[in-house]
Structure 1
Amino acid sequence: MKELNNQTEVKKEENSDKKKKTSDKKKDRLITGFLVLLIILGLGIFLYPKISDYWNTMVQMRAINTYQEKVSKLEDSEIESLLKQAREYNEKLYGLENPLRNYEKIKNYYEVLDITGTGIMGYVNIPAIDVELPVYHGTNSEVLNVAIGHLQGSSLPVGGENTHTVLSAHRGLPSAKLFSDLDELREGDTFTITILNYTVTYEVDEINIVLPSDVEKLKISEGKDYATLLTCTPYGVNTHRLFVRGHRVENAKGEKNVKVTADAVLIDKNSVIPFIALPLFILLVVYWILESKREKERKQRRRIIDEGKK
């Protein structure tokens, strides 16, 4: 009877050990899963800006390429007609009193230069900060989240006397670079605006930081040909506006009016490092967790074997 009781106690202990091991395994799996999930979440947060910016850059380049393809199919006479419409629009705008407020008196703004039906009117290239972006009609959030918007009430960006075009883009978005580096431009830097197959070049001659309500620097000056790049400042605070103004200069020697943009994005090799290093880090952490668990199980088995030998 005593021996039977001993056997029963042993079985109870074995069952208890099995339940404990099962519980420990479940606990280990939960901890491992939680740690892996935490690492993946952290990786996602860290990489989101880079992935999103890369994706937006691809979309922007595709928009420019589609625009260029459309332009290449136009006859010279069609291009001249479109440019003439834009210049006539600018003349009407210059004739308005305070065009930045009274622009709605000219009714066909969104139709002028919209050859694709998407609102794109051209693109801007700023070599000093390695930026090339499409330009769309208007400055609504849908446009400014992904590209440059042309400020309605300012001249269309085809150049000419009595014109002042204003091009605006966001700064500091986690999803796209856009005008994030605009504050790095200095007087003497140049940027180009390409409309249809026509490229105009501007040299930065004035940089101002003003309150949002101060638009004096954006007004058209008689006889002048200006273009201003506009964004928010300070970075992440956005209480003021940064104006980078340029005056018209001749295109660089050897530069043709029409440019061909590659349907690809050059990637900074330093920006690729996190994409390689972090997944490897995750694999190492997961391997370390699993190996630690296996080592713990091996020690438990050795302990049980050693106790059995005794």
Structure 2
Amino acid sequence: MLKKVFRFLFSVCLIVLGIGMSLYPAVRSEKIHMEAISYQKEVDNAYKQNKEQKKKKESDPFYQSIKKYNEDIYKNGQKDFKDAFSYTWFPIPLNGFKEERCGYIKIPAMDVQLPLYVRATKKNMAKGATVLGNTSLPIGGNNTNSVIAGHRGYQGSPYFREIEKLQIGDKVYIKNQWEKLTYIVKRIKIVYPNDSDEVKIQPGKDMVTLLTCHPYRSHGRYRYLVFCERDTSKKAVKKKKAVIETKDKTITYEPSEPEIKKENIIKQIAGFFILFCIIFLLFNNLFFLIKRQFYKKNKDSPNF
């Protein structure tokens, strides 16, 4: 009897584990998506409230401190932007950003919308896109370049996994509590991880630079950079296929699409296998119960 109970409980545990494993990526991805929507509403409400109250950013002390920070790092040549530690540090208080979120980023060509965090810590990068410390905070303005980093996929959530879908002319949107900013993809380049000079502020430009690892699932062998410049014209922009630049001849562009497709196929096969195991265990236990009832009925039947 104990053996039968143990067998049943073991089967139930396997079924629950299988369902959990197959659903976890989707559940986590949906959780991130819902958090992004929730935070988007917070930002939209703050933006709307500031607009209705005719609250000018010029009179907001917190905005002015950010603007001064952006000006200062340009003047000093971003001298503190040099290693992984500097990416998580800002020399000014950022208490005006709730839970270190400074807005959200929307990239239609990649079909992603993510909360935008200041400080590129592991914790923040697990929750969304992050602004590297000692780069411009994303409020726009001349002589700025906000470097925005994202994982190349993380625990089932895509994040910047599909970054290679971006082409010249694609738009990137950033919204904070003061305004909506629109940027257009201008250049794409692959560099080494320590090439920090590649993402520094370019004089006279208002930019954001998207940054992630490359190739996909390469453990960060290179960095994939998408340079975007501010668009205030609101005119339609003709898109064109990007020419992928590289730091030098030692780097060759390796498309990530085959690896992403391969991973998706493996996930589908794994999903079907888990589903098969669940169905097998269910039918096996059902057959066992029917068989048991059949023998019990025959045993209890009178003999003529």
Place the TM-score, normalised by the shorter chain, in its bin.
Answer: 0.7 to 0.9
**Alpha carbons of 1:49 and 1:251: their partners in 2 closer, same or farther (altered >3 Å)?**
farther
The equivalent of 2:161 in structure 1 is: 180
Superposition map of 1:226-241 within 5 A: 226-237=207-218, 238-241=220-223
Q: Is the 8 A contact 1:123 1:135 kept in 2?
A: yes
Query: Distance in 1 between the 2:67 and 2:130 partners?
Result: 19
Q: Pick from 211, 222, 228 the counterpart of residue 203 of structure 2.
A: 222
Cα distance in 2 between the residues matched to 1:143 and 1:107:
15
**Cα pair 1:100 1:152 within 8 Å, conserved:** no
Give 1 or 2: higher helix fraction.
1
2:6 — aligned with what? 30
Instruction: State the partner residue of 1:96.
Output: 76
The SS at the match of 1:149 is: strand
Match of 2:93 among 79, 102, 110: 110
Question: In structure 2, how many angstroms separate the alpha carbons of the residues matched to 1:110 and 1:64?
Answer: 23
Quote the offset at 1:51 in angstroms. Answer: 0.5
The TM-score, its normalising length taken from structure 2, stands at 0.73
Say which SS state the counterpart of residue 101 (structure 1) adopts. Answer: coil
Aligned residue pair count: 260
Q: What does residue range 118-157 of structure 1 map to in structure 2 within 5 Å?
A: 118-157=99-138
Whether 2:57 is the aligned partner of 1:76: answer: no
1:280-295 equivalent positions in 2, closer than 5 A: 282=278, 285-286=281-282, 288-295=284-291
Structure number, greater radius of gyration = 1
Q: For 2:65 and 2:232, how far apart are their aligned partners in 1?
A: 23
Q: Report the Cα offset of residue 163 of structure 1.
A: 1.4
- For the residues of structure 1 that align with 2:93 and 2:132, how far apart are their CA atoms? 12
3-state DSSP class of the match of 2:140?
coil
Instruction: After superposition, give the CA deviation of every residue in 1:74-124 in whole Å (9 maximum; x if it has no partner).
Output: 3434533344443332221110034452889x975333xx53542222211
Q: CA separation in 2, counterparts of 1:49 and 1:294?
A: 36
Distance 2:232 2:73 in 1: 25
Amino acid at match of 1:54: E
For structure 2, the 5+ residue unaligned runs are: 237-270
**Per-residue deviation, 1:301:** 4.6
TM-score by length of 1: 0.72
Q: 1:259 matched to which residue of 2? A: none
157-166 vs 93-102, greater mean Cα deviation: 93-102
What does residue 17 of structure 1 align with?
Answer: none
Q: Structure 1 residues 107, 135: closer, same or farther in 2, change over 3 A?
A: closer
Task: Look up the match of 2:229.
Answer: 247
Distance 1:53 1:230, change over 3 A: same
In 2, Cα distance between the equivalents of 1:35 and 1:197?
A: 55
Change (3 A) 1:151 1:184: same
Q: Match of 1:250, as an amino acid?
A: T
The CA deviation at 1:151 is: 1.0
Separation (CA, whole Å) in 1 of partners of 2:283 and 2:292? 14
Q: Which amino acid aligns with 1:101?
A: F
Match of 1:302 in 2: 298
Q: Give the Cα–Cα distance (whole angstroms) in 1 for the partners of residues 291 and 206 of structure 2.
A: 75
Please tell me the residue identity of whatever aligns with 1:246.
Answer: C
Structure 2 partner of 1:10: none
* Residue 159 of structure 1: aligned partner: 140
Segment drifting more, 183-192 vs 231-240: 231-240
Query: Any gaps of 5 or more consecutive residues in structure 1?
Result: 1-24, 255-274
Alpha-carbon distance between aligned partners in 2 of 1:46 and 1:100, rounded to the nearest angstrom? 44
Q: Does the 8 Å contact 1:67/1:120 carry over to 2?
A: no
> 2:47–2:179: 8 Å Cα contact kept in structure 1?
no
Q: Pairwise CA RMSD of aligned residues? A: 3.3
Counterpart of 2:259? none
Indicate the percent of aligned positions where both proteins have the same amino acid: 27
